[in-house]
């Protein structure tokens, strides 16, 4: 059955999400970058204020012929200063956005690695990767183009409106109606943008997850002529993402026309009414030109602000997905074990006392009690779904039991300072025998980086890997490929076992260790397991009768309950369930 603590980089980054992630969450996220954002804001606001001086200089150039040359020179200087301030401000803002992305990823990586196993059982790998890449990228866009632009746009609008009121307050009042209509139209679509963006990001996560699924099993896909089916499955997620993206695009496409409608309506009012006011002498031509420029400085930033609001809605959808991971419970305790309780000299290496556990759909273990004595070879047997893998998950503290007690060397596991402290006493070889991309040496010392060459050579010989290493072009320093693709199934299994043995554990957990081995290597490895079990307790999930018969003790599970404990001969004689199980092997 395969069941499905890192310190925070910044408390603001790792703050659990509220019911709905709002702009305040983005502001908290930017707390560590207040200095850079302040300078960027000052520069961009300065550029905005310089822009507001343009209408006044233009009015002077129109109305004052004597000062026209000076006004034009001043305009040119103003444009240069404005461009310089905008350029430096934009650089600071982009650098800040990259810093925010770095902080987010540095927060996400340890959180993903230190999160409880349940998170990884409940989410697909590709979806989690999408949150660390695509969703973080959406936050970058919000920071780079959003918040400071929102601030400077607001300052520009307020300044331009004040200028229009000063120039001609009656004409200003007439421009308010078209702008109000445009703003009202935009507000009606903003609410839908976030929901559509969330669907688009979720579809993109599913797309990435299915891509990872297919590419990581590409040989299986090809061997089963499943390329068309996988393409259809993955393409379906691409279609879903496209549909949601088009929905976002449709909603966003309403923002610009609405603001253009406001701008054109306001412009029309100003030209018609303003022209009449110039004709009757109520205002001057220079004032009308200045008013028109101020109006554009109002409407254009307003359109930008609503575009930013749309982008922020998409960013908030991504931030919600990120914070769902960030707020997932981490394993308790420290990364490095400390103050490990002293084991009892005569206590079993592993003991379950009336342990019950459920994944939420019925009991996977129900009142299970058994012992694995130090220096013994114990087999754990049962039908698929009996709870064997759950025993391993609980022994490794991937999950905590709902009832009962688990002891390592006589010490309850909850008295250890952290799950890592428990795992420092154990070694696990999974049935899939994961081999990581890198060299063979890196894989062997993965659980014990300080292992000496002599210790590596000893373990390599014991698990019969020396023949393989002799054939490799660079020996232990040969790359093994993604997921160990350069190795055979049996070789990957032996690498995983060697990695576990090299840790010198007190308890070795092996999930069907000989399943991918030929009879010769199975016999050799079984001998190694027997030898290893003299120095540490060995608990093996076994299906092959040849492995089961060698065990000094066999624990029989059925539907999460221990239904028999004893040697092979004793169980064959006294346990009808085991009799049927042994005959089926």
Q: In whole angstroms, what is the distance from residue 527 CA to residue 40 CA?
A: 69
Answer yes or no: do 401 and 311 share one domain: no
The domain of 445 spans 350-584
Q: DSSP letters of 207-236? A: HHHHHHHHHHTHHHHHHTT-HHHHHHHHHH
Same domain, 294 and 422: no
Of 294, 311, 326, at which residue does a domain stop?
Answer: 326
Q: Are residues 69 and 123 in the same domain?
A: yes
CA distance 290 to 297: 11
Q: Residue 213 has what pLDDT?
A: 74
Pairing of strands 403-408, 411-412: antiparallel
Statement to judge: residues 309 and 387 lie in one domain = no
Q: What is the per-residue pLDDT for 148? A: 65
Burial of 338 (0-12, 13-18, 19+ CB in 10 A): exposed
Q: Are 222 and 296 in the same domain?
A: yes
Q: What's the rounded Cα separation, in Å, for the pair 231 and 295? A: 53
Is residue 9 situated within a structural domain? no
| 128 and 199, same domain (yes or no) | yes
Task: Confirm whether 548 is domain-assigned.
Answer: yes
Does 7 map to a domain? no
pLDDT in tens, 392-443: 999 999 889 999 999 998 889 888 888 888 888 888 888 777 777 788 888 8
Give the pLDDT confidence of 182-225 residue by residue, as tens digits. 777 777 777 677 777 778 777 877 887 787 777 766 655 666 66
- Together in a domain, 579 and 519: yes
In a domain, 367, yes or no: yes
Confirm whether 11 is domain-assigned.
Answer: no
Same domain, 148 and 48: yes
Is the entire prediction scored with pTM above 0.85?
Answer: no
Q: Are residues 322 and 370 both part of a single domain?
A: no
Shared-domain flag, residues 174 and 67 = yes
Together in a domain, 456 and 521: yes
Residues of the chain with pLDDT under 50: 1-19, 334-337
CATH for 236: 1.20.1560.10
Please say whether the beta carbons of 370 and 352 come within 8 A. yes
The answer to whether the CB of 237 falls within 8 A of the CB of 212 is no
- The reply to whether 547 falls in a domain is yes
CATH number at residue 497: 3.40.50.300
Residue entry with tokens 């890592």: 420
Does residue 13 lie in a domain region?
no
Q: Is residue 335 part of a domain?
A: no
Number of domain units in the chain: 2
278 with 374, same domain?
no
Which tokens go with 476?
């232990």
């Amino acid at each position: 059955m395969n069941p499905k603590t890192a310190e925070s980089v910044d408390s603001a980054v790792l703050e659990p999400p509220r019911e709905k992630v709002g702009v305040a969450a983005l502001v908290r996220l930017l707390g560590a970058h207040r200095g850079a954002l302040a300078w960027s804001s000052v520069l961009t606001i300065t550029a905005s204020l310089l822009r507001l001086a343009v209408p006044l200089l233009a009015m002077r150039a129109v109305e004052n012929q004597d000062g026209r040359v000076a006004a034009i020179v001043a305009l040119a200087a103003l444009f240069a200063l404005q461009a310089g301030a905008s350029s430096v401000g934009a650089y600071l803002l982009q650098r800040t956005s990259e810093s925010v992305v770095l902080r987010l990823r540095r927060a996400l990586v340890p959180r993903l690695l230190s999160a409880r196993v349940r998170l990884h059982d409940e989410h697909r790998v590709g979806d989690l990767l999408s949150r660390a890449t695509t969703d973080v990228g959406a936050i970058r866009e919000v920071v780079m183009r959003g918040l400071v632009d929102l601030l400077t746009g607001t300052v520009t609008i307020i300044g331009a409106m004040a200028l229009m009121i000063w120039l001609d307050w009656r004409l200003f009042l007439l421009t308010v109606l078209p702008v109000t209509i445009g703003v009202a139209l935009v507000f009606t679509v903003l609410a839908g943008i976030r929901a559509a963006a969330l669907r688009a990001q979720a579809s993109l996560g599913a797309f990435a997850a299915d891509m990872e699924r297919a590419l990581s099993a590409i040989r299986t896909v090809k061997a089963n002529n499943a390329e068309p089916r996988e393409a259809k499955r993955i393409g379906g997620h691409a279609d879903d993402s496209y549909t949601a993206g088009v929905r976002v695009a449709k909603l966003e496409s309403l923002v610009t026309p609405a603001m253009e409608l406001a701008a054109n309506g306001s412009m029309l009012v100003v030209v018609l009414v303003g022209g009449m006011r110039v004709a009757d002498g109520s205002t001057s031509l220079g004032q009308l030109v200045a008013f028109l420029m101020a109006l554009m400085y109002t409407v254009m930033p307003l359109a930008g602000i609503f575009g930013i609001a749309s982008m922020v809605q998409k960013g908030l959808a991504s931030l919600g997905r990120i914070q769902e991971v960030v707020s997932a419970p981490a394993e308790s305790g420290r990364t490095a074990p400390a103050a490990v309780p002293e084991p009892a000299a005569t206590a079993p290496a592993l003991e379950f006392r009336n342990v019950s556990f459920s994944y939420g759909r019925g009991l996977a273990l129900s009142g299970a009690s058994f012992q694995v004595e130090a220096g013994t070879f114990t087999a754990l047997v049962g039908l698929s779904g009996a709870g064997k893998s759950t025993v391993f998950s609980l022994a490794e503290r991937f999950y905590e039991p709902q009832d009962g007690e688990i002891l390592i060397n006589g010490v309850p596991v909850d008295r250890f300072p952290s799950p890592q402290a428990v795992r420092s006493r154990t070694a696990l070889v999974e049935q899939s025998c994961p081999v990581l991309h890198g060299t063979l040496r890196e894989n062997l010392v993965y659980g014990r980086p300080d292992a000496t060459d002599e210790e590596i050579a000893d373990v390599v010989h014991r698990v019969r890997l020396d023949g393989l290493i002799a054939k490799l072009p660079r020996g232990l320093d040969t790359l093994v490929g993604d997921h160990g693709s350069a190795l055979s199934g049996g070789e990957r299994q032996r690498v995983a076992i060697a990695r576990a043995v090299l840790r010198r554990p007190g308890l070795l957990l092996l999930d069907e260790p000989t399943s991918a081995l030929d009879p010769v290597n199975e016999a050799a490895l079984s001998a190694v397991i027997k030898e290893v079990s003299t120095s540490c307790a060995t608990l093996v999930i076994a299906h092959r009768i040849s492995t089961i018969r060698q065990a000094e003790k066999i624990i029989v599970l059925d539907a999460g309950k221990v239904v028999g404990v004893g040697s092979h001969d004793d169980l064959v004689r006294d346990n009808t369930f085991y009799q049927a199980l042994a005959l089926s092997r």
